Structure 1
Amino acid sequence: MLWERPAEIPFPTVWHEFQGPDVGDTDNLVSYRVEDLTPNRFDDIVEHFLDHFLTAEPEYVAKGVPGDELARREIVDFWRWCFARRLTLVCYKEASRTIIGGILLNVKMKEGQNARMVESEKLKGIFASNEYLTDTFDVFGNYGVSEYLTACGMAVHRNYHGTGICGEMLRAQIPICKALGLKVISTNFTGTETQAVAAKVGFRSDLEMSYDELAKLNPLFTFPRIASRSTKVMSLVIK
């Protein structure tokens, strides 16, 4: 069984609006909004993730996914699978349709189809190591829930790094959880900077494992010359 967005929740919805510095003019505050990704922007968000996620996310870079044709094709297929859940969010600046950021969301269920089958050994290593972490901590058991919101990737346009967009996109998940009746957000954060931003938003670290530890557990979990020291399962309880 796959999770489906309830029909009574309007689509698309603007989930979060905020003021933040403009790119190139940090003294000037402008308005931003985070809303549901609509089908007419699917190809655009794929290009955004190819440009600003695949070449920057530590695990994907370490595994060499950007230069592997099979892995690239399968990760794009996975992104499109995420789009079909109708939970992917996109960030726009006022009076603009230029994509500034995107976050791929999914509801993970204790009883349901959560895993994606892939042929690429590179992607198998990434997916399997992430599943190992969440299974080791047992998000369901520790928080007493049967489902929770999780992110499968986030990408902010490199020109907007340092403007706070990352943190605001994490905050945008809170009203979604409230609308869906979900009590927990839990995600594996692999980048040192995003781990720090998540902590500022209120996410707590449930489990941290160094990449050296992961490599000793399973050859699939080896990430050569990865830029990050460790990966963390981090969660936010919705109140």
Structure 2
Amino acid sequence: MTWQRPASVPVGQVWSRFKGRERDGQPAKMSNWERYIAQGVSLACFTETDGAPDELVAFNITLDLVDVFTLYGVDRYLTSSGLTVLPEHRGQNIGARLFEARKPLCAALGIQCTATVFTATASQVLASKCGYTQLAELSYSHMAARGVDLSGCATPTAKLMGTKFHFD
């Protein structure tokens, strides 16, 4: 059975709003990102013009899985694929803000924890700073032996990192 966003969780909900620093230039266009957010639960950061979303500057593709995440003692958890902040908008803590936005998103979905595989050093460090702990680590050489070539990555390992939310 395919997971579906509950009707009680509105599409287009703003989970967090903040003011980033102004930058010169235009952000690069991201092609086909819309196909990744078809479930209606991904997180995105837009510039605003007159209070309305304008240009996409960052996104974090999130997915709700039905598999049991035994470490946290839950039957569902939020995971993601591809936390991306465009170069023109880096250095503003946007990635950290997207991590923070997972908590109200999970609360609305009735999900108690999140876990993500991080492949870049910067995202591994950021996740740790945001309270995520390392749950597992897999070397790229081990993955290459199974046909997954990640030799282009700057880090030697992928890290599964997670956190459990405590809702009031």
* TM-score class normalised by the smaller sequence: 0.7 to 0.9
Distance, in Å, in 2 between the alignment partners of 1:230 and 1:16 is 31
Quote how far apart the aligned CAs of 1:21 are. Answer: 2.9
Q: 1:236 is matched by which residue type in structure 2?
A: T
**2:14 corresponding residue in structure 1:** 14
Structure 2 residue 162 is matched with structure 1 residue 235: yes
Matches within 5 A, 1:215-230: 215-216=144-145, 218=146, 220-230=147-157
Identity %, equivalent residues: 30
Quote how far apart the aligned CAs of 1:211 are. Answer: 1.4
**99, 102, 106: which one aligns with 1:177:** 106
Between Structure 1 and Structure 2, the one with more helix by share is 1
Quote how far apart the aligned CAs of 1:79 are. Answer: 6.2
Q: 1:153 is matched by which residue type in structure 2?
A: G
Quote how far apart the aligned CAs of 1:176 are. Answer: 0.3
Q: 2:40 is matched by which residue type in structure 1?
A: R
Distance, in Å, in 2 between the alignment partners of 1:223 and 1:189 is 12
Structure 2 residue 143 is matched with structure 1 residue 189: no
Quote how far apart the aligned CAs of 1:17 are. Answer: 1.4
What residue ranges of structure 1 are gaps of 5+ in the alignment? 25-46, 51-75, 111-138
Q: Is the 8 A contact 1:22 1:163 kept in 2?
A: no
Structure with larger RCO (C-alpha < 8 A, sep 6+): 1
Q: 2:151 is matched by which residue type in structure 1?
A: P
**2:137 corresponding residue in structure 1:** 208
Distance, in Å, in 2 between the alignment partners of 1:150 and 1:214 is 20
What residue ranges of structure 2 are gaps of 5+ in the alignment? none
SS at match of 2:2: coil
Quote how far apart the aligned CAs of 1:150 are. Answer: 0.7
Distance 1:191 1:141, change over 3 A: same
**1:84 corresponding residue in structure 2:** 38
Cα-Cα RMSD: 2.2
Q: How many residues align?
A: 160
